[in-house]
Structure 1
Amino acid sequence: MGHDPRDPTPPPTFGGFFGRADELGRIGTWLELRTAPPPPSGRSLPTLMVLHGPAGVGKSALAAQAAQRYAVHTHWISLYDATRTDVEPTLLRLLGESGGSRAAIVRAALGDDRAFRRALRGELARQLRDRLVVLDGAAPPVVRALLPYLRDCRGLAVLVTSRQEAGWRRIGARLLDVERLGPRASRDLVARMATGAPWRDRDTWYGLASWPASLVSAAQGLPALARIAGFFIANRMAPRPEPRTGESGPQRLVRLALEDCTTDQRALLRRLAERNSGAPFTQRTAELLCSLDSDPSEVRSVLGGLLVKELVQRWSSDGTFCLPQPVTDVVRAAEPVSSVRTVTALWAERALQRTAAALDGRPLPEHHIGPSPEGLDPRELVPHLDEFLSLLTNSAHRGRQEDAIADGLALLLAVLGDAHRLVALHRLWPVLSVRRALSSLAADLGLLEQARALYDTDKWRNPDAVHHAAALCRQSGQLTEALSVLDGLLGDDARPDDRHTAWALLVLGAVRCDQSEVAEAERALLRAAALHRASGCRRGLGWTLLHSARVCLLSGRDTEAGRLLDEADELLLSVADTRGGNWVTTERLRLALRRWEPAAAAELGRQAHAQHQGAEDVRGSAWTALYRALANLEQGDLHGARGALASAAQLFLECGDDLGSAWTEHRAALLPSVRDEVHSASVLVSLGPVWAQFGEIGCPLGTAWTELEMVARRRPTDLNLPLLDSAEERFRALGDAYGLAWAAAVRAVHRTHLHGDGPRSAGALVASFPHDIPIPDPERLVREITRFWEGGGVLGGRTIPSHARDTVAVRHSGPWFLDVPGQAGPRCRVRVTLLDDTPAEDTTARLLLRVSPEDGHPWGASGSDRPWLMVTAAPLTPASVDPASSLLRPSEQAAHGAEFAFTAHRTGTHRIRFTIALERTGTVLQQVETELDILDHDEHGGLSSPEAVTHRGR
């Protein structure tokens, strides 16, 4: 069951509502008053009506029926046991559900209390109009505190259900007494619950003339109890003993139903009655409440049995239930508890901490038993967000459990993008973890200044703070600064299996991808993926795969990129990370551009734009606008490209992303235009600041391409050669054959003008690069360079294609999940074992080399597709090894290893170097050296196995 926290909670659909025609008519007449013109003063309190009556009389069902019958846009707020402190969270919830701006409320949260309340009232006046707000189970003090904030909401009506009759006149409320059902209505309701038809001839009901009548009488006109009575009649339950001394009809009716329950059913009822709220609950609530006492898989049948008996009743068709208050009262009286709050807090802590484990990879405490993190969908907890928040609102003290609830709730709200409830939590419980969560959400909304203001400054000692600070730097486009921050967490003393290391490696991989450092990005993302898998962090793994897909797109591996995007989308959807899913759509837009699918690119561009706008992700909208501009360029739509680039420039400025701004200015400066000297000069002027900006933020690819374009637009002269040399050197450092090809093309044009010798063929130029560097679509590159030369270069009217800078063709490093040397993440250990006795001079000894994956490594998984590895052995001392190379597969089993025969030609210590490479591509993964002591024939003892050490040169 999934929910969006920004969707208004709809009225319940109890089913089987009968009668109350008079009350419904009066509510309908009252609702018409909300459209009446305001008084001359221009403001007044909202139209208010209070439905009051005893528990179980059907006030909530009547309010729900009225909202449905009169088709009013309704917000349903359950406020059982609420106090004055519920006011601000309730207002923020209403604002979020009415479509209020996330960014506006986060900005306001950093102001003082007076300014925040003024902003809250103003936002409510703009958003909460022509609607019905139902405050179910509210007390007069809460409503009195809420109304002043709602006074400017035009056309707003507030309908309250309450057991209290007093305390409403002072605020101008219209009261409607919801009375118990009369005898005839009670009989008809019980009959409909039992048979689906009205009461006609009670004497024909199974021959139990007096028993049905006594059940109707016991229900005392309360619809909640009439359903229980209907169950008894429908199932032909035999008469029971007379009432106990002092026992009322409702108490007897519920007691009789409880006596027919199993032990497990009574246990679940007790847990539900001990909750701190009469608000509706879900099956997941019941599972977590019972996880200490029973197998969660059995809860569904237990809950189903209670539903049949009507002791638990359906609240809505979407899988929510309620425990009628008369049932709660009887259960609590039978087994009094010291604190009804304890049970709710316990299950809330369990649910939130398990969900947080899937969101950030944190380990669960030993006492956390029950459903695993993989079984929790964060959207299942959306109906309970306000219940969780109320635990902190009404808490008399702050302890470990309260902090754990606040910590998990903050992370959940940040991932869900529920800024309004997160602001309420921050104002209520401003601990460090809540501030960080709000800071993260503020950054997602493009509020980097506010994100830094919320963020703690102890970033060098706290690992959580390090990767969060680095992520903020990256989101602002400051790549060099992000790397500097990460050095504090990924240094020599880093913990290789720490979840903070996993997130830091994820940020590192993203930064390296932004810099177009393909090999370094793959290494970091590989380790991050292994750590996130080991910890069960689905959200971390989803983001890792998303950035791995970006690396594949950058290096031209489109098929692999598509597969990774599909996997990332599935993982992020499973943890309700909507923002991550939106970025997957943006990357799919890039994939469509690479595959030259204009129709798909246009549709994905519109879809990504709408998704980012809906999430108020300014940075996501900015990058999507930039890619849509490129799509327009590919289709020759210069007008559309200019408009999209202008939009991207404005959005990047708004969210403070310097990297995006630099690339936007770079693209805008190169838009095709009339190629004359005046235009070329203006382009050079506009590229100058861009070149400086790329250098400042640490983007070598952007710097190289800007240098190359500046050279291409200048008159050929030897003065341009240093700048061209610089561009080539940057491309060479990146290992980018694509950039080097275009640098060579520009150099050839210059050489033609300066020396008159024409360039060689484009095919020969492309063919001159190493064959293990896969240049995507080399035929197209040859055609484009040929056209560029034939047109005389940029000054002759030709341009370097816009898409050229979107590909970094590097030496193929194999699948993205290959193992690489490093300190972090599960790795493959190289093990060298001596199979014979201590070797001597001129005798042969057998060595077994195995590549053993650690737990959590992809190659160590059962049934994984382990690749073939090539091991080359080179003796570094007077000795020989046979064979010189051998194939093996990663495994602990000796049969999968490689065996070598070693013969020493002198005594002493000998060294052998083993080089392990991927057989398919030749990519070197690791080098190790081993030492063996070779003894004279007369010596005894010695080493039973060689010592393997990592080669310092690698």
Structure 2
Amino acid sequence: MVKDPRDPTPPPTFGEFFGRADELARIGTWLELRTAPPPPSGRSLPTLMVLHGPAGVGKSAVAAQAAHRSGVRTHWISLYDATLADVEPTLLRLLGECGGSRAVIVGAALGTDRAFRRTLRGELARRLRDRLLVLDGTTPPVVRALLLFLRDCRGLAVLVTSRQESGWRRIGARLLAVDPLDPGTSRDLVARMATGGPWTAGYGPASWPASLAGAAQGLPALARIASSLIARGTAPREGPRPGESGPGRLVRLALEDCTTDQRALLGRLSARNSAAPFTERTAELLGSPEDGPDHVRSMLGGLLDKELLQRWSRDGTYCLPQPVADVVRAAEPVFSVEKVTALWAEHALQGTAVALDGRTEHPLGPTPPGLAPRDLVPHLDDFLSLLAGSAQRGRREDAIADGLAVLLAVLGDAHRLVALHRLWPILSVRRALSSLAADVGLLEQAAALYDTDKWSNADAVPHAAALCHRAGRLSEALTVLDGLLRDEARPDDRHTAWALLVLGAVRCDQGEVVEAERALLRAAALHRASGCRRGLGWTLLHSARVCLLSGRDDEAGLLLEQADAELLSVADTRGMNWVTTQRLRLALRHGVPEAADELGRGAHARHQLAEDIRGDGWTAFYRALAALERGDRHGARGALGRAAQLFRECGDDLGSAWTEHWSALLFSAPDNDYSAPAQVSLRPAWALFGRLGCTLGTAWTELEMVARRRPSDRDLPLLDSAEEHFRALGDAYGMAWAAAVRADHQHHPQLDGPYWVRAFVASLPPELPVPDRERLVAEIRRYLEAGGVLSGRTIPLSARNTVAVRHTGPWFVDVPGRTGPHCRVRVTLLDDTPAEDTTARLLLRVSPEDGHPWGASGADRPWLTVTAAPLTPASVDPASALLRPSEQAVHGAEFTFTAHRTGTHRIRFTIALERTGTVLQQVETELDILDHDEHGGLSSPEAVTHRGR
């Protein structure tokens, strides 16, 4: 399960805890006072307590123990080495952990500083109530700045740990000193930890165990080291060295038992110069490049055994006691904290960004190996603090901000991303925030954050097109993409991959199955080549949508599983939520409305948690269709109303158009028969589909408009337009229903119904390319026999959800009910008996039948391109060729085929218009290649159906 960065950080669990009963009692009493009635002024100011004492005395352990015992919901924030620059990121993190609205804070990021701070203060007052906030390891100026924003948080208690005793009373803090343990208690603690029982007899004040216990100076962190030395029987070979303190002696003795690698790792960890917790991944990145994860884990275990490190919590987090870090740094000076931390932060973020956006170039050199985004979640605040405390703004800092912005956008962490934007407002950060704004339905704000008219770079094109697509403006998205995708000189880079992804999604929404699949296949190849797992996940998701649209349900299910796995690997929760929505559609297509309803409830909850209004809108839309399948008209109306509201909120005009379409069919129908003619006009949906460039929606709305009117010659142009749109899409379902509506309108009422219905059904081609021809024929028969829509029979739901194509574009599609001449693809083997490692010639022709427009000679016959791809160990030359539609061999395309092994070989031919590149058809053929000693008599290859189409 991916850790949500918005989950509150719980108090640490240091393990067994001894003593401090008085301090814990006083903290408990103080916490009870936070629930006292508010003063007469009506304002309940946060109550503040400060635990102060020297480093290593156990202030954090006392605060953690008090938080666990209190039962109050706690936010634990480590602020070691924090400055005033960390205040705003800390407040934004707090607001995110309290479930603050992403949309509100992203919208406020566009305002003035004063308006933003006012919004931040107001949101905190609404969200951060009746909780305990622990600020671990901070100073009075930082706390004072934080309290300015927390002053209206009712019932909030703030517990601070600090080494400073002065400077707190000015802000009304209650002070509680955490002093070192007295010598007797310290000796008892060391003995208890060393032996598990009382102090062993025979150890007098002059013995070496007693001297080690005294060297701990009453600090529990050092007492643990002393107990470890005693438990292992490590007696000092010499007394304290000149000028050596007690802590220095204890750490030196523990280090003498460490390996060289352990001492080196401890030195690098001490370079962090912070008592803040760290993870195993931090140790790996700070360690030597030769140290693998297993070796680092072993070194950490050895340091834990010697108590030089301590466990911070059970989730694999550690801390380095400050007295140990001070001794190590004094003995062995190491790199500065800025250099060490910035180096691994930059490497980790830039390497991870490869899987998130497909980048192949690194601003400072080769891209290092990346990490899973979930591995970086514990370090998000460290990265932000690094930028907040940076004294310079160089290329390395820009690289950190760039990679962090991409990571936060994918994780959906709007509050930290807004903090980054205010700290480091470079172009890539604005682009990431714009993308996240679009995710939460703020399309206008997204456009304002990343005004693509100002940024003339390749990155702006797919981003601008994606914004158009999310708004449902399909034609506009294609216009934006046109320049980038038509630039033949441009390399196939990550920008091209994302542009093709958007192109495939837009074509799918238009109903252009072949074009969508072609774009998505190329996008998938580019994303795989660059290692962009997130891009590949979204490409597979849209490919599944194409399969659902074309009736290939089994393939859609497999693609959804693959998409879910890829998106899970990069912690893209929003993408995984959309996978659930598409699974809802799959269940609906399988005729299991109960399963669809369960998936719909789950998708609805997930989209709401992610604040993805558009995803929630489409989920509500599909839940309405599921309700129709169950016969729940009331539920369908409610779901459609909710979908319409959500689409208006997020600005998705395409969703609004489809909602208008279904509302017109459903909302005005009587309760006893939802299929009766609708009184609500379909014209608004028709106009909206036309403006957006949705061919599929336009065609079905035109067809429904004709079907729901009395027969009239005035409707024929509208019906002709619907048929033309279906023909352009290659939609056999749509053309069959258009032919049925035309037949219904042209039927003379005096004719015998059954005869003309049977005649029409018989005219449907037997090879009609639909997933379930028998079902379609039965539906059309019932429709015509009942007298069409005007007599109460509706066109089924499944019809408009399937674009069944004959693997072709409009020129190769048979028209149901009004059959015309076809074009056939012929592949001929020109050499008999092909064998292994010998060359055979293949001739491919596109042969128009008599009466086909391409059958006549002249300029009307277009040039076509055919690309050959062997799917088995073989070679085909050339890879592509030109041809013209004709039965004559001279107008065909000839290829040479060389097999590299015996057996059955498969070759795929892709035919497209040379002028536009539009794919018209894909066919596959099989050849049986024999041994040289065998004989055969094949004169032509065996044609096979292209799988998956």
Q: Does TM, scored on the shorter chain, surpass 0.5?
A: yes
Say whether 1:23 aligns with 2:23: yes
How far apart are 1:51 and its partner, in Å?
0.3
CA distance in 2, matches of 1:82, 1:269: 23
Partner amino acid, structure 2, of 1:181: L
How far apart are 1:546 and its partner, in Å?
0.3
1:285 to 282, 285, 308: 282
How far apart are 1:753 and its partner, in Å?
4.1
Q: Pick which of 655-664 and 751-760 moved more.
A: 751-760
Could you tell me whether the CA contact under 8 Å between 1:546 and 1:568 is conserved in 2?
Answer: yes
How far apart are 1:311 and its partner, in Å?
1.2
Could you tell me whether the CA contact under 8 Å between 2:129 and 2:155 is conserved in 1?
Answer: yes
Could you tell me whether the CA contact under 8 Å between 1:848 and 1:899 is conserved in 2?
Answer: no
Write out per-residue CA displacement over residues 837-869 of structure 1, whole angstroms, 9 at most, x where no aligned residue.
xxxxxxxx9568999xxxxx9x99xxx988999
Question: Superposed, which structure 2 residues align to 1:39-50 within 5 Å?
Answer: 39-50=39-50
User: Matched residue of 2:666: which SS?
Assistant: coil
1:342 to 318, 339, 342: 339
How far apart are 1:368 and its partner, in Å?
6.9
Could you tell me whether the CA contact under 8 Å between 1:888 and 1:898 is conserved in 2?
Answer: no
User: Matched residue of 1:35: which SS?
Assistant: coil
Residue aligning to 1:613: 608
Residue aligning to 2:793: 798
Partner amino acid, structure 2, of 1:805: R
Residue aligning to 2:826: none
* TM, length-normalised to structure 2: 0.85
Partner amino acid, structure 2, of 1:223: P
Write out per-residue CA displacement over residues 674-698 of structure 1, whole angstroms, 9 at most, x where no aligned residue.
579xx99994662111111101000
CA distance in 2, matches of 1:311, 1:165: 27
How far apart are 1:148 and its partner, in Å?
1.8
CA distance in 2, matches of 1:652, 1:533: 33
Residue aligning to 1:388: 383
Q: Pick which of 19-28 and 333-342 moved more.
A: 333-342
User: Matched residue of 1:77: which SS?
Assistant: strand
Question: Superposed, which structure 2 residues align to 1:770-781 within 5 Å?
Answer: 774-781=769-776
Could you tell me whether the CA contact under 8 Å between 1:85 and 1:394 is conserved in 2?
Answer: yes
Partner amino acid, structure 2, of 1:19: G
2:210 to 208, 213, 230: 213
Shift in CA distance, 898/172, structure 1 to aligned 2, threshold 3 Å: closer
Residue aligning to 2:71: 71
1:546 to 527, 541, 549: 541
Shift in CA distance, 811/681, structure 1 to aligned 2, threshold 3 Å: closer
1:577 to 554, 568, 572: 572
Shift in CA distance, 460/321, structure 1 to aligned 2, threshold 3 Å: closer
Write out per-residue CA displacement over residues 61-110 of structure 1, whole angstroms, 9 at most, x where no aligned residue.
10000000111100000000111111111111111001111111111111
CA distance in 2, matches of 1:25, 1:517: 71
Write out per-residue CA displacement over residues 577-622 of structure 1, whole angstroms, 9 at most, x where no aligned residue.
0000000000000000000112211110000000000000000000
Gaps in structure 1 of 5+ consecutive residues? 815-834, 836-844, 852-856, 901-913, 928-954
Residue aligning to 1:272: 269
Could you tell me whether the CA contact under 8 Å between 2:192 and 2:199 is conserved in 1?
Answer: no
Residue aligning to 1:489: 484
Gaps in structure 2 of 5+ consecutive residues? 810-830, 832-837, 845-866, 913-918, 926-949
Residue aligning to 1:332: 329
Question: Superposed, which structure 2 residues align to 1:619-698 within 5 Å?
Answer: 619-671=614-666, 674=669, 683=678, 686-698=681-693
Partner amino acid, structure 1, of 2:579: V
CA distance in 2, matches of 1:114, 1:875: 68
Residue aligning to 1:179: 179
Shift in CA distance, 351/192, structure 1 to aligned 2, threshold 3 Å: farther
Residue aligning to 2:864: none
Partner amino acid, structure 1, of 2:91: L
Q: Pick which of 296-305 and 252-261 moved more.
A: 296-305
Residue aligning to 2:922: 924
How far apart are 1:488 and its partner, in Å?
2.1
Shift in CA distance, 137/493, structure 1 to aligned 2, threshold 3 Å: same
How far apart are 1:886 and its partner, in Å?
9.5
CA distance in 1, matches of 2:115, 2:277: 35
Residue aligning to 1:247: 244
Could you tell me whether the CA contact under 8 Å between 1:585 and 1:608 is conserved in 2?
Answer: yes
Residue aligning to 1:106: 106
User: Matched residue of 1:42: which SS?
Assistant: coil
Say whether 1:741 aligns with 2:739: no
Partner amino acid, structure 2, of 1:352: L
Could you tell me whether the CA contact under 8 Å between 1:358 and 1:537 is conserved in 2?
Answer: yes
Write out per-residue CA displacement over residues 293-319 of structure 1, whole angstroms, 9 at most, x where no aligned residue.
544552222222212222121100011
User: Matched residue of 2:581: which SS?
Assistant: helix
Residue aligning to 2:192: 192
User: Matched residue of 2:72: which SS?
Assistant: coil
Partner amino acid, structure 2, of 1:191: A
CA distance in 1, matches of 2:487, 2:920: 29
How far apart are 1:760 and its partner, in Å?
6.3
Write out per-residue CA displacement over residues 522-566 of structure 1, whole angstroms, 9 at most, x where no aligned residue.
010001111111111110100000000000000010001000101
Could you tell me whether the CA contact under 8 Å between 2:840 and 2:897 is conserved in 1?
Answer: no
Partner amino acid, structure 2, of 1:695: G
Could you tell me whether the CA contact under 8 Å between 1:57 and 1:221 is conserved in 2?
Answer: yes
Question: Superposed, which structure 2 residues align to 1:100-139 within 5 Å?
Answer: 100-139=100-139
How far apart are 1:917 and its partner, in Å?
8.2
Could you tell me whether the CA contact under 8 Å between 2:676 and 2:791 is conserved in 1?
Answer: no
How far apart are 1:799 and its partner, in Å?
1.0
1:258 to 249, 255, 269: 255
Could you tell me whether the CA contact under 8 Å between 1:445 and 1:618 is conserved in 2?
Answer: yes
CA distance in 1, matches of 2:286, 2:458: 33
CA distance in 2, matches of 1:865, 1:280: 55
Shift in CA distance, 281/886, structure 1 to aligned 2, threshold 3 Å: same
Shift in CA distance, 407/230, structure 1 to aligned 2, threshold 3 Å: same
Q: Pick which of 185-194 and 574-583 moved more.
A: 185-194
1:716 to 705, 711, 715: 711
Partner amino acid, structure 2, of 1:302: M
Q: Pick which of 654-663 and 448-457 moved more.
A: 448-457
Residue aligning to 2:33: 33
Partner amino acid, structure 2, of 1:461: S
Question: Superposed, which structure 2 residues align to 1:227-246 within 5 Å?
Answer: 227-246=224-243
User: Matched residue of 2:783: which SS?
Assistant: helix
User: Matched residue of 1:237: which SS?
Assistant: coil
Residue aligning to 1:203: 202
CA distance in 2, matches of 1:771, 1:381: 58
User: Matched residue of 1:487: which SS?
Assistant: helix
Question: Superposed, which structure 2 residues align to 1:300-449 within 5 Å?
Answer: 300-337=297-334, 339-363=336-360, 365=362, 372-373=369-370, 376-449=371-444
User: Matched residue of 2:410: which SS?
Assistant: helix
CA distance in 2, matches of 1:487, 1:420: 35
Shift in CA distance, 291/588, structure 1 to aligned 2, threshold 3 Å: farther
Residue aligning to 1:951: none
How far apart are 1:809 and its partner, in Å?
0.7
How far apart are 1:803 and its partner, in Å?
2.7
Partner amino acid, structure 2, of 1:188: D
**Percent of residue pairs identical:** 73
Could you tell me whether the CA contact under 8 Å between 1:741 and 1:765 is conserved in 2?
Answer: no
Residue aligning to 2:9: 9
How far apart are 1:220 and its partner, in Å?
1.2
How far apart are 1:775 and its partner, in Å?
1.1
CA distance in 2, matches of 1:529, 1:873: 25
CA distance in 2, matches of 1:799, 1:682: 8
How far apart are 1:462 and its partner, in Å?
0.7
* TM, length-normalised to structure 1: 0.85
- Cα-Cα RMSD: 3.6
Could you tell me whether the CA contact under 8 Å between 1:680 and 1:713 is conserved in 2?
Answer: no
Residue aligning to 1:86: 86
Instruction: Give the total of aligned pairs.
Output: 866
CA distance in 2, matches of 1:12, 1:899: 62
Residue aligning to 1:537: 532
User: Matched residue of 2:735: which SS?
Assistant: helix
User: Matched residue of 1:176: which SS?
Assistant: strand
